[in-house]
Amino acid sequence: MSLTLVVIDDDELDRHALRRALTQTGRDFAIEECDSGEAGLERIRSMRAQGRRVDCLLLDFSLPGQNGLEVLSRLREQDIDVPTVMLTGFGDEELAVESMRRGADDYLPKAKLDPLILASKIDAARRIFDARQRTIAAETELRDLVEQLRRAVAARDSVLAVVSHDLRRPLNNIQLALGLIEQDATPRQRDLAVGSVRRAVDRANQLIGDLLEISRLDGEIELDRQPLDPLALAQAVVTDLEPVLARSDASLRIEHGDALDKIFADHHRVRQVLDNLLDNAISHSPKDGTIVLSLRNVSGAVEFSVRDQGPGIEPVVREHVFDRFWRGEGRPKGAGGVGLGLAIAKGFTEAHGGEIGVECPEDGGSRFWFRIPAPAPTPGQRGDTAGESASDFEGEEAAS
Ligand SMILES: Nc1ncnc2c1ncn2[C@@H]1O[C@H](COP(=O)(O)OP(=O)(O)OP(=O)(O)O)[C@@H](O)[C@H]1O
Ligand SMILES: [Mg+2]
């Protein structure tokens, strides 16, 4: 197998001696010669850009301008790692040791330029380099594994906390209500108790659903992408929220620009992101507050935003609201969440290649927004996709 060697040496005679020794090894070497550190760096860069391998670098230590160690550092700075043999002059043993400490794989005093020794140095440098690469890969894998385990333990702890704390509340309510039903309760008391059981079961169900969604976020989220009409989606979500809005003090309206782009997205996931943002806006809205759900095209994406007139979010905690299990202090009465809604919204948005954020306008309240990319259809698809999407979407909505 032919090996490609790069030789960096300013001395023409030394390069000649090196070439001759390499030929005398009887091995098949392709040699790239450079007479300065700068030229050598440039050659290695361009070889890599062309996808060519550098099997070994033979690097003269005493180059004018920058010495061999500096050339090595420059390579490392550019994230270039190649098997390297440092060529040292007479009496440079200390420098040789220093070179190996700083990343050379082996060294060879020029005085010992014997073909056999030279070939064995090249082979040794390549072996050491391979071992180094394997160690780096193993270290990276280990670090990733430790990080995964750390996250798994943290997630397990959080789930335990939720199960032991938040899931207990609906169970307690069920127990109390059953106690009431078992006693000689009046029909009205019984109705109240049944209502309480029903709400508790809903709450427990929602909690379990959220915990399942969150655990799915740790793996690859499989999206069922379909062409979607963002406005029809928003209108469907708002229609479903009407009973909740009727019980709350808030009102909700949709605002949108003309001709919104179609998005190619997972209907249920985008819907859940919207649901979670609107759920928060409703529970933080003041009496008679207005919530505005706006839609607009923004540079290759459709932006959905939910603006409320609630208390807003302090700048210092804004970066935490999307963390799992993060809940603000002093939540309004009835807002008994566990702090997963926004984490789920972030996970689903990012799974679509989108972005999510929050800002608090000066005149109060908060504005949560997320953007779902609207890929430009290819010319052949344009008519079909647009036609299909509208009818598919309407069909889906009618069915759900
Ligand atoms: N519109 C909003 N106005 C003010 N604070 C908000 C708003 N939305 C979210 N927050 C703050 O961010 C925290 C995290 O929100 P998130 O939706 O993740 O959890 P949650 O609503 O507490 O519970 P969950 O959504 O899991 O039922 C909330 O507890 C609240 O403090
Ligand atoms: Mg929430």
Query: How close is the Cα of 1 to the center of ligand 1, in Å?
Result: 63
More reliable by pLDDT, 248 or 256? 256
- CA-nearest residue for atom 25, ligand 1, is 341
| The pLDDT of residue 165 is above 90 | no
Least confident of 209-213, 316-320, 392-396: 392-396
CA–CA gap between residue 162 and residue 327 (Å, rounded): 12
The C-alpha atoms of residue 229 and residue 247 are separated, in whole angstroms, by: 29
Q: Are 228 and 389 in contact (CB under 8 A)?
A: yes
Residue of the CA atom closest to atom 21 of ligand 1: 337
Pocket test of ligand 1: the residue of 275, 280, 329, 338 to mutate, having most ligand atoms within 8 Å of its CB, is: 280
Beta carbon of 34 within 6 Å of any ligand 1 atom: no
Q: For residue 400, is pLDDT > 60?
A: no
327 CA distance to ligand 2 middle (Å): 9
Q: Is 162 in the pocket of ligand 1 (CB under 6 A)?
A: no
Please report where in the chains the tokens 């700048």 appear, as a residue.
Answer: 315
Q: State in Å: Cα 135 to ligand 2 middle.
A: 45
Please indicate whether residue 327, judged by its CB atom, sits closer than 6 Å to ligand 1.
yes
Torsion over CA: 28, 32, 33, 38 (sign): negative
250 by Cβ neighbours in 10 Å (0-12 / 13-18 / 19+) ranks as: buried
> d(Cα 47, Cα 29) in Å, to the nearest integer?
16
CB of 306 shorter than 6 A to ligand 1: no
Query: Which residue did the predictor score with more confidence, 163 or 383?
Result: 163
Distance CA 237, CA 278 (A): 9
Is 50 exceeded by the pLDDT of residue 395? no
User: Which CATH number is correct for 225-399, 3.40.50.720, 3.30.565.10, 3.40.718.10, 3.30.70.20?
Assistant: 3.30.565.10
What distance in angstroms lies between residue 321's CA and the mean position of ligand 1's atoms? 7
Q: Among the listed ranges 28-42, 144-158, 290-304, which one has the minimum average pLDDT value? A: 144-158
pLDDT band at 380 (very low <50, low <70, confident <90, very high): low
Band the pLDDT of 332: cuts 50, 70, 90.
low
pLDDT digits (tens, 9 = 90+) for 361-374: 999 999 999 999 99
Q: 16-25, 50-59, 178-187: lowest mean pLDDT where?
A: 178-187
**Which tens digits make up the pLDDT trace of 274-290?**
999 999 999 999 999 99
| Residue with CA at minimum distance from ligand 1 atom 30 | 328
Please provide the distance, in angstroms rounded to a whole number, between the alpha carbons at the two ends of the chain.
64
Read off the pLDDT of each residue in 119-137 and give the average, rounded to a whole number. Answer: 95
Can you tell me which atom of ligand 1 is nearest the CA of 331?
31
What does the mean pLDDT of the chain come to?
Answer: 87
pLDDT digits (tens, 9 = 90+) for 196-254: 899 889 888 888 888 888 777 777 788 999 999 999 999 999 998 888 888 888 999 99
Express each pLDDT in 80-115 by its tens digit.
999 999 998 867 778 888 888 888 999 999 888 899
| pLDDT value at 381 more than 60 | no
Q: What is the pLDDT of residue 330?
A: 63
| CB 289 less than 6 A from any atom of ligand 1 | no
CATH number of 3-137: 3.40.50.2300
Cα 109 to middle of ligand 1, angstroms: 68
State if residue 337 touches ligand 1 by the CB under 6 angstroms criterion: yes
Whether 281 lines ligand 1, by a CB cut-off of 6 Å, is yes
What pLDDT score does 72 carry? 92
Beta carbons of 249 and 288 less than 8 angstroms apart: yes
| Ligand 1 near 3 CB (within 6 A) | no
Phi/psi at 323 (5° precision): -75, 150
The response to whether residue 284 sits with its C-beta less than 6 Å from ligand 1 reads: yes
Task: List, in sequence order, the alpha helices (H) in the chain.
Answer: 12-24, 37-49, 68-77, 93-101, 115-165, 168-182, 187-217, 230-247, 267-284, 315-318, 341-351, 379-399
| Per-residue pLDDT at 392 | 41
Q: How far is the CA of 238 from the centre of ligand 1 (A)?
A: 19
pLDDT at site 214: 79
**Distance from the alpha carbon of residue 159 to the mean position of ligand 2, in angstroms:** 17
Query: Which one of 41-45, 211-215, 390-394 scores highest in mean pLDDT?
Result: 41-45
Read off the pLDDT of each residue in 130-156 and give the average, rounded to a whole number: 90
pLDDT for res 399: 35
Which among 306, 308, 342 is the best mutation to test ligand 1's pocket, defined by most ligand atoms within 8 Å of the CB?
342
* pLDDT attached to residue 246: 86
Burial of 29 (0-12, 13-18, 19+ CB in 10 A): middle
Per-residue confidence (pLDDT) for residue 97, from 0 to 100: 84
Tell whether ligand 1 has an atom less than 6 A from the beta carbon of residue 280: yes
Range scoring the smallest mean pLDDT among 23-27, 80-84, 96-100, 126-130: 96-100
- Which ligand places an atom closest to the C-alpha of 347? 1
| 396 or 119, which is more confident | 119
